[in-house]
Amino acid sequence: MQAKETLFADLVQGRAQQFQVPLYQRTYSWTEKQLAQLWSDILEQADLLESGEKANTHFLGSVVLAPSPQNEPTFPRWLVVDGQQRLTTLSLALAAIRDHIADAEPDEAERIDEEYLINKRKSGSDHFRLLPTQADRAQFAAFVRGPLSEQAAGGAVAAAYGFFRRELVAAADPAAPQDVFCIEQAITSRLTLVAVTAERGDNVHRIFESLNNTGLKLSQADLLRNYLFMKLRAHGEHVYETYWLPLQDSLSNDELEQLMWLQLVLDGDDRVRRQDLYAAQQQRFEHGGASQPEIEADIEAYIRELYRRGALFRRLLHPEEEPDEAVRAHLRRLDTWQAQVTYPALMLLLDRRERGELDSSDTARAMSYIESFLVRRMMCRVPTNNLNRIFQAVPGQLPLDVHIADGLQRLLSAENRFWPDDDELREKIQKAPFYKYGRPDQRKMVLQRLEESYEHPEPVDFTAAQLTIEHVMPQSPGDEWIRMLREDADDGENAEDLHSRLQHTLGNLTLTAINSELSNHPFERKQDLLQGSHLEMNRRIAATERWGVKEIRARADELADRAIALWPAPLRGVGRAERSRDWHLAHQVLAALPHGTWTSYGDLAAFIGSGAQAVGNHLANTPGVANAYRVLTSEGRVSDGFRWTSQDAGEDVRTRLAADGVRFAANGAADPDQRLSADDLALLVAGTDDDQAAGADTAQHTPDSQGEETRSDRFFRQLAADDSPETVEAVRALFTQWEELGGWIGHGAGQVTTSAFLMLGESGAPGQGIWSLTLYPGWGRGGTAEVVFRYLATRAPFTDRTLRAELLKRLNELNGVDIPEGKLELRPSFRLSVLEKDRDRELLVETLTWFRDHWASRNTD
């Protein structure tokens, strides 16, 4: 047996060879969680390559190889005993890079193919350098060989390839473009592997077992603590009791590790990674052949400083410990924002204040620039992928010739920081779908600050008030709303497109504690309810005679004035919004379109805050946009103005769409069930921490209360107002059967109207349960059951895509349910009226029983 450190390029490059995954190995199973972590490591290494810095490579893990029985002297074949998940993932990442650059750099794409993916002069299965296990082989081959075929749809291999395709588009962000060839080099030459090569006769399974003998991994903080006190021979006990033990008692191990990392950053190391903390600090203590007494003195000073800064760090974690009111308010908002990325800058400010270099007033002013930087970027939809680098560099880049607060404003105002100016902020408030960007708490905080700007003499206690975001013009408009929108629609735009474009803009949003009462009522009814609100912004809405396009835009202008006053602008103009940034967002979401789906020009326009005509013109004149041919008219037809801008020119569009799983009716229109709305598109590039997930995770049993309508009562009242008695009774029967299966019904707060979650797990234990369906009243269109595939993808055991696909298959057995596979990453729904038939309800209960059993077995597999 031989073991040596190697790189992916050294392992697979060179003469023709093949790595075969044995049949007994499990199928490819990496989920987005593992892919995202790997991608983060790759980008980090790519950044180091771009900057020219010398740094440690990233250790990826081991690969255990054994000679294959099919080995030939001229064509080596290796069995992959361990490491197939890593090799498959890296191969798919390189295939995605090859396809990403194919139009612009065909020669480079061919080079990647020949160096890492194929054996050019071999045919059949020998053509591939990596040959996965049988179950994954056809799909893997489809992505490596191309062009893609229908067998490439679905599965973990397809999901991984799709992940890399869309992340490559995101990495080309004009705000901070990353060199795709540096990404390639990071994959092939910066990720190290330990290759264990067995000889014939070696027990490769024993090798595999020894490598996978798991234990509790020591953290960077553990390693550094052990090193520090091993070196402290003279005063170790005193230092431990005086400084270390109180520090360790005040912070968790993870928080302590974060503080240690921040200490390095504050001391000027703006490139250190948390996973390199131990090595970086050890190197500092042992520089230049220092003597033992000098090392001990340095370590004691380091721990004393860590102890001092620990008290400051706690104020970031617990803002209530900050004594100054203005600084405390900023820390609370940044904590609500979940702005851990800003900790290097915040620690710098608190540290300088404690040293007497600035007072609390200037500290608060500097924090207002940080808050504005984050808020304006979120409202203007500037990607967050570069924030770590921006704030980690603050301590080392802060100008020395100006006041600290002014220097921070100057630093964040640099053009490559993309702090939006007043013009860009106003434009995005008017047009961008604010409700579909950022986290729920971030959106709520923006509206809360805008309400506070009215300086009402009796302000609302926001900590006590149960406020949620309300769409004044509802997300599911009734006939009266549609009639009004038709009156306001311009030529060439229908009421539905206008609604899609305006519903999520800031001008149409407010805060309220009576979402369910407001519901989807006509505006006249909402006026009466909003008039009695304690919020000034609601009383102003109530004072408006109607609520159409003109009124929404007027309110957007008013809120833009307030936002500009609340959140300071950068020092010098960074220019108006680059349209390329919006188009980059469009490219990113198109690259993420699942197999078997399409979208319309109007949907894409609503998603980015543009117009359908502008979207059409851009796609017709921009080469290299992934999946541009899958943007159709609202009727599901290929636009008359569509033309290929790439090497696919001349191919029939409908043939290509059919190969992508898009179905067509006899009249030539694409299947409307496969269409992705603007809201669906937002889900494709968003995280999973939105209002729906939060509502279910905090859902609880709703016990009866004397003289007061419960959430359960309200749910059925709203359902009965819109659905037949048969549907209502069918839903009641379903709930009873679900409880008999050991589940419970949760009614979450914070929805536009009430809703019902079919929950498993302990009530009142956020994040510990799971739910398969969310039921909503119909609001004039019939109640629906939403299948939360998107959230199941993050919850064991349904991180396994094959289980989610099985759930979809079972649901589609219900008469009237036909969910396309392309919506397996989204939140598709079906009508509750299908449950009126006993057989369909029985099928659903059987499916829910299957769901329960798989969840119950998650820890025993």
**Residue-level pLDDT at 201:** 59
What are the pLDDT digits (tens) for 12-22?
988 899 999 88
Residue 753 near residue 776, CB atoms below 8 Å: yes
Predicted confidence (pLDDT) at residue 852 exceeds the cutoff of 90: yes
CA distance 625 to 623: 6
What are the pLDDT digits (tens) for 701-741?
554 444 567 888 888 988 898 899 999 999 999 999 999 99
User: Residue 3 phi/psi, 5° resolution?
Assistant: -130, 130
Cα torsion angle, 732, 734, 735, 740, sign: positive
Look-up of token digits 């008695």: 725
- Inside any domain, residue 221: no
Residue of 495 and 316 predicted with greater confidence: 316
- Inside any domain, residue 814: yes
Three-state DSSP class for residue 379: helix
Structural domain harbouring 678:
579-684
For the ranges 145-159, 208-222, 735-749, the maximum mean pLDDT occurs at: 735-749
Count of positions (residues) in the chain: 861
Residue 604 near residue 617, CB atoms below 8 Å: no
Task: Kindly state whether residues 756 and 620 are assigned to the same domain.
Answer: no
CA distance 839 to 815: 9
Task: Kindly state whether residues 30 and 168 are assigned to the same domain.
Answer: yes
Task: Kindly state whether residues 538 and 588 are assigned to the same domain.
Answer: no
CA distance 323 to 258: 23
**Residue-level pLDDT at 861:** 45
What are the pLDDT digits (tens) for 441-470?
999 999 999 999 998 777 888 887 878 899
Instruction: Look up residue 230 and give its amino acid.
Output: M
For the ranges 233-237, 306-310, 696-700, the maximum mean pLDDT occurs at: 306-310
Q: How many domains does the chain have?
A: 5
Domain boundary residue among 211, 245, 269? 211
Banded model confidence at residue 210, pLDDT cuts 50, 70, 90: very low
Banded model confidence at residue 202, pLDDT cuts 50, 70, 90: low
Task: Kindly state whether residues 153 and 35 are assigned to the same domain.
Answer: yes
Task: Kindly state whether residues 740 and 707 are assigned to the same domain.
Answer: yes
**Residue-level pLDDT at 14:** 82
Q: Which helix (H) or strand (E) holds 479?
A: helix 479-488
- Inside any domain, residue 481: yes
Residue of 287 and 232 predicted with greater confidence: 232
User: Residue 476 phi/psi, 5° resolution?
Assistant: -120, 85
Predicted confidence (pLDDT) at residue 572 exceeds the cutoff of 70: yes
What are the pLDDT digits (tens) for 151-201?
456 788 988 999 999 999 988 877 678 899 999 999 999 999 988 888 765
What are the pLDDT digits (tens) for 252-284?
989 999 999 999 999 878 778 888 888 888 888
Residue closest to 518 by CA, chosen among 526, 527, 528, 509: 526
Task: Kindly state whether residues 49 and 145 are assigned to the same domain.
Answer: yes
Task: Kindly state whether residues 90 and 31 are assigned to the same domain.
Answer: yes
Rounded to the nearest 10°, the torsion over CA 234, 240, 242, 247 is 150
Task: Kindly state whether residues 24 and 131 are assigned to the same domain.
Answer: yes
Task: Kindly state whether residues 149 and 242 are assigned to the same domain.
Answer: no
Residue 535 near residue 586, CB atoms below 8 Å: no
- Inside any domain, residue 289: yes
Predicted confidence (pLDDT) at residue 36 exceeds the cutoff of 80: yes
For the chain, state the CA radius of gyration. Answer: 29
Task: Kindly state whether residues 738 and 767 are assigned to the same domain.
Answer: yes
Task: Kindly state whether residues 452 and 412 are assigned to the same domain.
Answer: no
Task: Find the CATH number of the domain harbouring 659.
Answer: 1.10.10.10
CA distance 343 to 392: 8
CB neighbourhood size of 275 (10 A): 16
| pTM above threshold 0.75 | yes
Task: Kindly state whether residues 552 and 603 are assigned to the same domain.
Answer: no
Residue 335 near residue 310, CB atoms below 8 Å: no
- Inside any domain, residue 572: no
Banded model confidence at residue 213, pLDDT cuts 50, 70, 90: very low
What are the pLDDT digits (tens) for 332-389?
999 999 999 999 999 999 999 999 999 999 999 999 999 999 999 999 998 887 899 8
β-pairing, 829-831 vs 784-787, is antiparallel
Quote the tokens at residue 375. Answer: 């808020």
Residue 809 near residue 821, CB atoms below 8 Å: no
Q: In this structure, what DSSP letter does residue 824 have?
A: T
Domain boundary residue among 422, 452, 485? 422
Q: Residue 708 burial (CB < 10 Å; 0-12/13-18/19+)?
A: exposed
